[in-house]
């Protein structure tokens, strides 16, 4: 039986989530526009703010004022791809 709450990375591998989708979520986080739930398509959603806050690495990088934009993007991407999507 397939996992009812796959990671965003798993959805990415099956093309439910695209590069553009992930980049739009990263841009939203960097711009401070983290919605409660974001529709990922395929009947899945993600609480982006909770996903980033739950990832210790992403939280540390975002709190470090000396982090480069590239490091911030990578940390956010990692947090998003590792987060579990919820079936809606």
pLDDT digits (tens, 9 = 90+) for 2-22: 667 899 999 999 999 999 999
Could you give the CA distance from residue 72 to residue 26 in angstroms, rounded to a whole number?
9
Question: Residues for the chain: how many in total?
Answer: 88
Q: Considering the domain boundaries, does residue 58 fall inside one?
A: yes
User: What total number of domains does the chain contain?
Assistant: 1
Between 18 and 41, the more confident residue is 18
Q: Considering the domain boundaries, does residue 3 fall inside one?
A: no
Q: Considering the domain boundaries, does residue 13 fall inside one?
A: yes
Q: Considering the domain boundaries, does residue 27 fall inside one?
A: yes
* Cα distance from N-terminal residue to C-terminal residue, the chain: 18
SS3 21: helix
Within 10 A of 4 (CB to CB), how many other CB atoms are there? 10
User: What integer is the mean pLDDT of 43-69?
Assistant: 95
Instruction: Please say if the pLDDT value at position 26 is more than 90.
Output: yes
Q: Is 10 exposed, middle or buried (0-12, 13-18, 19+ CB in 10 A)?
A: middle
Q: What residues make up the domain containing 43?
A: 8-84
User: What integer is the mean pLDDT of 17-44?
Assistant: 90
Q: Considering the domain boundaries, does residue 20 fall inside one?
A: yes
User: What integer is the mean pLDDT of 23-40?
Assistant: 89
Q: Which two tokens stand for residue 65?
A: 């004022």
Instruction: Kindly report the pTM of this predicted structure.
Output: 0.91
């Amino acid at each position: 039986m397939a996992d009812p709450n796959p990671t965003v990375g798993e959805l990415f591998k099956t093309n439910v989530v695209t590069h553009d989708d992930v980049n739009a979520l990263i841009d939203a986080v960097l711009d401070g526009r983290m919605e409660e739930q974001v529709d990922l398509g395929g009947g899945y959603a993600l609480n982006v703010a909770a996903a980033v806050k739950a990832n210790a690495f992403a939280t540390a990088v975002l709190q470090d004022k000396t982090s480069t934009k590239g490091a911030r993007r990578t940390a956010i991407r990692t947090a998003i791809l590792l987060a579990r999507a919820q079936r809606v």
